[in-house]
Amino acid sequence: MSGFAAKTVLVTGAATGIGRATALAFAAQGACVMIGDIDDRAAETVALISRAGGTAAFEHCDVGDAMQTTALVEACITRFGRLHIAFNNAGVLPPAVPFHEIVETDFDRIIATDLKGVFLCMQAEIRHMLEHGGGAIVNTSSVAGIVADPNMASYVAAKHGVAGLTKAAAVEYAQRGIRVNAIAPGFIVTPMTQPWADSQVFRNAFFAQNVIGRAGTAEEVAGTVLHLCSDAANFINGALFVIDGGQTAH
């Protein structure tokens, strides 16, 4: 995979997990990486990239705030001169409760980060890309953007919304040099999902429906993101790539 040596990549939610693995992968391919995250562990990701000989920077950013997402893109441009690629990955998980017991503030928090956050980042990124020859955007949806699991209604709503935003933007900007795609990871072991991985009840239920018989890794997701942002994917637009080991195949 080539073509990232002269590119600048913006990654949100790169303090840990899929975001960190993807930021490291882009940097290993020569890209300059700007990280936006509310979690200060993103500084550790920058340090890992620097120690490996790469170039990265971190800006504290709440993706649910339009002023902060705009400032993040501006900081990226100020630092690196251009924004070629964006991976809108920041997200949070809700408490698992039945639909009728969801607390409104919890619903609002999930929508603000997992859906509105993607929307606001895309707006700021697209504005820049329209003026500078286009670019590639990948958004993190989920298998919850395709199917529904019980007790996760707010997350399901947000991730379905991300899939819809992705398609809408892809249609609008396809002829302006901007490609927009999304990924739909299944169960990937990260610090955010570790409590589920530690639960025997969850593992039994998960492995009963996952044909590959194991959880995925953040690095396995990162490979798909890099492909979608590469020249090899120039004819892929408005797609939702499922990365779930076959979980939703049956």
| Amino acid at residue number 101 | E
Task: Please count the other Cβ atoms lying within 10 Å of the Cβ belonging to residue 214.
Answer: 11
| Amino acid at residue number 90 | A
What residues of the chain score a pLDDT lower than 50?
A: 1
Domains of the chain listed by start with CATH number: 8-242 (3.40.50.720)
Give Cβ neighbours of residue 111 (< 8 Å, ≥ 6 apart): 154, 157, 158, 161
pTM of structure: 0.95
What is the CA angle 85-86-90, rounded to 5?
160
pLDDT at 99: 97
Kindly state the tokens that stand for 208: 């009963």
Active-site residue numbers? 155
Q: Is the dihedral of CA 143, 145, 149, 152 positive or negative?
A: positive
Please give the Cα distance from 68 to 138 (Å, whole number): 20
pLDDT at 1: 44
Long-range contacts of 100-103 (CB under 8 A, 24+ apart): 102/153, 102/154
Please give the Cα distance from 29 to 40 (Å, whole number): 24
Burial (0-12, 13-18, 19+ Cβ within 10 Å), 216:
buried
